[in-house]
Chain A
Amino acid sequence: MNIVVLVLGATAFYTIVGQLVPQKEVPAPEVIEISKDVTTEEMVEIGKGIAQGKGTCLTCHTIGQSGSLRFPDLDGIGTRAATRIPGMSAVDYLAQSLYEPNAYVVEGFNPGMPVINKPPIQLTDDEILAVIAFLQSLGGTPSVTMETKLSINGGAGGDSTATATAALVQEAASLDGKALFERYGCARCHATTLPGKRLDRAEVLASILSPDSITTLAGAEQAKKRQAMEQSGVYDKATLQEIDRIVDYLMEQKAKE
């Protein structure tokens, strides 16, 4: 009888100890679908989720800690990445450290990071792009998109990089100012003939890049217009060259007058 009580008591005691510690279930990682048309900002968000969860990056890496760390801190990696290996771009460096983690080990640390696109972590190439976007956002500005082709990705698709880039350039080059004007939705608000009448080329360019700089409006109206410009997304999508071409097109309209 006493023995039964003792056995029950001891097991109960250990069970209670087990209930006193923090209780956390760890879900199995879900498959994350990333469509090709997400923006870089959305990629940062997705990448952040992956880094915290499925990618298990933050089990080892810290963000913004110092002291005696076991793994390099990720804060500021967005800018630091470009300086690690001379001649290697930030994106390529980050890709290398995910696909071939032991190729370059930061001084003072031990190698030991798993290859991220292999099991058990096994992120897909798309997920890794998102993680790179997130890493770039730590202290820098993300530049990758879902279309970015990595020069290092575990051997896959190495050859297609050059051709794909060329195709992109070609496509952008093929659009003239008018097409771009429409593509970025300028025509939704602006009449094509208006700005060229009053402003010179530099002023037109300035008023696109910095809507507040040249305006007759003030107060709330000015703010509304500026926000409309900001929310049109043109700053996110268009390159400077493209904006230049739009201005060219607008100046042509003036010349036609």
Chain B
Amino acid sequence: MSKSRILVIGVGAFIGLIVFAFVARQTLVVFDHAYRTPVEADHPDRTPAMQGEADSRAAQAEKQRKQPLAEHGVPLKDVEYRAFPGVGSRVAIWSVAQLHLLFAAFVLAVPIFALIIELIGYFTGDKRYDRLAHEFTKLLSVSFSLTATLGAGLTFMLIILYPRFTQYLMHVFSPTFLPYVLLFFLESGFLYAYYYGWGKFPPVAHLTLGIALNVVGTGIMVIANSWLTFMMSPSGVSESGALISTWQAVDNYTWMPINVHRFIANVAFGGSIAAAYAAFKFLHATSDEERAHYDWMGYIGNFVAIIAFLPLPFAGYWLAKEIYAYSQTMGLTMMGGAFSWLFIIQAVLIGCLFIGANLYLWLGMGRIEGAQRYKGYIKYLLFVIAVCFAVWATPRSPITTPVEVREMGGSFHPVLGKLGVMSAKNTAVNLLILTTYLSFLIYRRSGITPTVSWARRGKALQLLTFIASAGVVISLGVLGYFVPTTVRIGLSVPQVISVLAALVVVTAIDILMFRGAETVGETRWGQMPAISQYILIFIAVTFTWLMGLMGYVRSGLRQHWHVYGVIRDTSPDAFTPTLGFATKVVSVNVLLFFILIALVFWLSGLSSKKDWRARGTDAS
């Protein structure tokens, strides 16, 4: 008998046995159980959503009743809310604000991104970078006008739908509006000059223009951030909401962390959208040359996205810490109360991001000759990533049926319950970051071999750093189970520091070690399986979705307050909706964003199309 025969028989028998057992069990169950009615309540509880609908209906009826009086018009200051038809005010504002923010993030990210690439091109003299930066900037002008339009829409809707609240916010922030508008004006000037002046200015002048554009753009974001962070953690006002100091109102607890968090996230987001654009172009490319270019562009975009993404959790820690510092109540609502399950969803999203990013790197190794020697490591990396992902996504008290509760003897599983706590999750996240970076290192060196004399020692040192960092992370994680809470919370800081230190040390060694490295295998750009490009798009979708979700948390944390602790939300929408509802709205927003971004891609692609008349002559 041939070897393959034996193989087929062996494997077939094993799988067949399992399938048979499964089918047999299922059959037995079907024939054993008389059908019993499922347990279904025939009267749903009165949920806040229903209550809200009922309230707004009642308000409508009341309005109808009072119609004759209102005919002469109601003075503005008496109106607290107006209703948006169909979806309601909250969802309308939510969608418009989110789209505005997504585009704004894109518009702010692309210049940063283009500037970095242009700088690289300038210093390395590689023309490819310059071309790439220019191509990115092409996406800007359409996005910029869309952002402005959405922003204007948002402002109008706020004034119309939430007049009292908007009035208050305008009162507090009145001194910031003029600088904002001026900056906006400057932004458009710099932006168009930067784009249209490509190649027309001397390189240094153009770069200066790029820097100015970014400074102005960041300024716009920082001002806008002050408004929304004020809503979350107001300061500079008295208890009753009277303004004491505008500067204090701007410089509130969450302002700086949000600025930093958004800046980094914008870079990552811009990178991922640029990569998605490249992937889109790659898939529709007709020539090898084009494919090579877009493959490379996608790689750079994704690289920037992932590098920016790695420190994001730390910025997130800072934000969360400031939220706790501002209001323990809000912090606990976030982590332990109504939003605690949202972080399980977040874990799923970030887990998907990590897996996607790593998969892209591994696939990328396929286009490098000589990467074969590293292929065997993939499964171990994947194993670590999957386990960390699973730990991170493990809920502290899972959803259970009564039978399961009885079997577990409580709402915590004796084994899994230990994975659901902060110590385990921090450890998992830090290990995820380390592993992903390891993946990247392997990718980086797959085509090259160091020539320096201390290469072996350098590699050993790098490995040692990784092991030491992982050791610190794990042992601190374990220690977390045995120390009091006050100590435990502090443990995440050394964990993070050890990971960051490891990243820095390893990178430094790597750069030194591969200086003048010998190339063993050429990177064949464009030789990428199509699946990798779909992964880039998947990463972009995931990233957008994640931004939408986290935006909801930040905003939803205020619960029934417009301005936390100052202006109460008394509208029928004052309740906090279910996570299922929120995820649906986020999904719709993400889809809308991608429809619009497709429009942007199409519009910006028009310029490179052949002239209509030229085509006409070709045909004739």
- A residues touching B (Cβ–Cβ < 8 Å)? 2-3, 6-8, 10-12, 14-15, 17-19, 21-29, 56, 59-60, 68-70, 108-110, 112-114, 118-122
- A10-B545, A15-B587, A21-B345 given; A114·B239 CB < 8 A: no
- A3-B283, A121-B329 given; A8·B591 CB < 8 A: yes
B389: min CB distance to chain A, Å: 13
Residue of B nearest to A3 (CB): B537
* Chain B contacts with A in 429-470, Cβ cutoff 8 A: none
Complex Cα distance, B586 from A14, in Å, reads 10
Residue of B nearest to A114 (CB): B329
- A3-B280, A18-B580, A68-B484 given; A25·B328 CB < 8 A: no
Complex Cα distance, B542 from A24, in Å, reads 24
Supplied contacts A60-B328, A110-B486, 16 more A-B pairs, CB within 8 Å: A3-B280, A3-B534, A6-B538, A14-B542, A14-B586, A18-B584, A22-B399, A23-B581, A24-B338, A25-B576, A26-B559, A27-B51, A28-B559, A60-B332, A113-B328, A118-B565
* In the complex, chain B residues whose CB is within 8 Å of the CB of A121: 329
* Pair B583/A14 contact, Cβ less than 8 Å: yes
- A23-B579, A69-B485 given; A10·B542 CB < 8 A: yes
* Pair B564/A120 contact, Cβ less than 8 Å: yes
* In the complex, chain A residues whose CB is within 8 Å of the CB of B314: none
Pick from A15, A27, A69: contact of B583, CB below 8 A.
A15
* Pair B537/A6 contact, Cβ less than 8 Å: yes
Complex Cα distance, B422 from A68, in Å, reads 13
* Pair A114/B328 contact, Cβ less than 8 Å: yes
8 residue pairs A–B, Cβ–Cβ below 8 Å: A11-B591, A23-B580, A24-B338, A25-B49, A25-B577, A28-B48, A118-B239, A120-B329
* In the complex, chain A residues whose CB is within 8 Å of the CB of B590: 11
Residue of A nearest to B570 (CB): A28
Q: Is B578 an interface residue (CB 8 A)?
A: yes
Complex Cα distance, B274 from A124, in Å, reads 53
Complex Cα distance, B332 from A114, in Å, reads 12
B242: min CB distance to chain A, Å: 14
* In the complex, chain B residues whose CB is within 8 Å of the CB of A29: 560
* In the complex, chain A residues whose CB is within 8 Å of the CB of B212: none
A243: min CB distance to chain B, Å: 45
Complex Cα distance, B327 from A60, in Å, reads 13
Complex Cα distance, B587 from A108, in Å, reads 44
Band of interface residues on B: 35 or more
B352: min CB distance to chain A, Å: 8
Residue of A nearest to B276 (CB): A3
* Pair B485/A7 contact, Cβ less than 8 Å: no
Complex Cα distance, B542 from A135, in Å, reads 46
Residue of B nearest to A60 (CB): B332
* In the complex, chain B residues whose CB is within 8 Å of the CB of A56: 329, 332-333, 337
* Pair A26/B587 contact, Cβ less than 8 Å: no
Complex Cα distance, B329 from A27, in Å, reads 16
B552: min CB distance to chain A, Å: 10
Contact mask for chain B residues 325-344; partner A; CB cutoff 8 A; 1 contact, 0 none? 00111101100111001101
* In the complex, chain A residues whose CB is within 8 Å of the CB of B560: 28-29
* In the complex, chain A residues whose CB is within 8 Å of the CB of B538: 6, 10
* In the complex, chain B residues whose CB is within 8 Å of the CB of A109: 486
Complex Cα distance, B587 from A66, in Å, reads 41
- A21-B341, A121-B329 given; A2·B534 CB < 8 A: yes
Q: How many A-B residue pairs have CB under 8 A?
A: 132
* Pair A119/B559 contact, Cβ less than 8 Å: no
Complex Cα distance, B542 from A15, in Å, reads 11
* In the complex, chain B residues whose CB is within 8 Å of the CB of A70: 485
Q: Which 8 A-B pairs have the closest CB atoms?
A: A18-B583, A119-B565, A28-B560, A28-B574, A26-B576, A23-B578, A27-B48, A21-B341
* Pair A120/B541 contact, Cβ less than 8 Å: no
Residue of A nearest to B545 (CB): A14
Q: Is B120 an interface residue (CB 8 A)?
A: no
* Chain B contacts with A in 481-519, Cβ cutoff 8 A: 484-486, 488
Residue of A nearest to B530 (CB): A2
Q: Is B561 an interface residue (CB 8 A)?
A: yes
Q: Is B47 an interface residue (CB 8 A)?
A: yes
Q: Is B295 an interface residue (CB 8 A)?
A: no
Q: Is B575 an interface residue (CB 8 A)?
A: yes
Residue of B nearest to A122 (CB): B565
* Pair B565/A120 contact, Cβ less than 8 Å: yes
* In the complex, chain A residues whose CB is within 8 Å of the CB of B486: 108-110
* Chain B contacts with A in 517-569, Cβ cutoff 8 A: 534, 537-538, 541-542, 545, 559-561, 564-566, 569
Contact mask for chain B residues 285-317; partner A; CB cutoff 8 A; 1 contact, 0 none? 000000000000000000000000000000000
* In the complex, chain B residues whose CB is within 8 Å of the CB of A6: 534, 537-538, 541
Pick from A7, A23, A24, A120: contact of B561, CB below 8 A.
A120
* In the complex, chain A residues whose CB is within 8 Å of the CB of B541: 6-7, 10-11
* In the complex, chain B residues whose CB is within 8 Å of the CB of A60: 328, 332, 336
* In the complex, chain B residues whose CB is within 8 Å of the CB of A22: 341, 399, 579
* In the complex, chain B residues whose CB is within 8 Å of the CB of A27: 48, 51, 575
Q: Is B193 an interface residue (CB 8 A)?
A: no
* Chain B contacts with A in 48-80, Cβ cutoff 8 A: 48-49, 51
* Pair B345/A17 contact, Cβ less than 8 Å: yes
Complex Cα distance, B335 from A60, in Å, reads 11
Residue of A nearest to B329 (CB): A114
* Pair B545/A11 contact, Cβ less than 8 Å: yes
* In the complex, chain B residues whose CB is within 8 Å of the CB of A28: 48, 559-560, 569, 574-575
Complex Cα distance, B333 from A121, in Å, reads 12
Q: Is B349 an interface residue (CB 8 A)?
A: yes
Q: Is B198 an interface residue (CB 8 A)?
A: no
Q: Which among B328, B542, B584 has the greatest number of chain A C-beta atoms within 10 A?
A: B328
Complex Cα distance, B575 from A3, in Å, reads 37
B219: min CB distance to chain A, Å: 31
Complex Cα distance, B488 from A122, in Å, reads 31
Pick from A7, A59, A120: contact of B336, CB below 8 A.
A59
- A28-B560, A118-B239 given; A21·B545 CB < 8 A: no
Q: Is B582 an interface residue (CB 8 A)?
A: yes
* In the complex, chain A residues whose CB is within 8 Å of the CB of B337: 26, 56, 59
Pick from A19, A119, A120: contact of B580, CB below 8 A.
A19
Q: Is B93 an interface residue (CB 8 A)?
A: no
Residue of A nearest to B338 (CB): A26
* In the complex, chain A residues whose CB is within 8 Å of the CB of B582: 18
- A23-B578, A28-B559 given; A59·B332 CB < 8 A: yes
Q: Is B318 an interface residue (CB 8 A)?
A: no
* Pair B328/A112 contact, Cβ less than 8 Å: yes
Q: Which among A19, A24, A119 has the greatest number of chain B C-beta atoms within 10 A?
A: A119
- A56-B329, A113-B328 given; A21·B579 CB < 8 A: yes
Q: Is B348 an interface residue (CB 8 A)?
A: yes
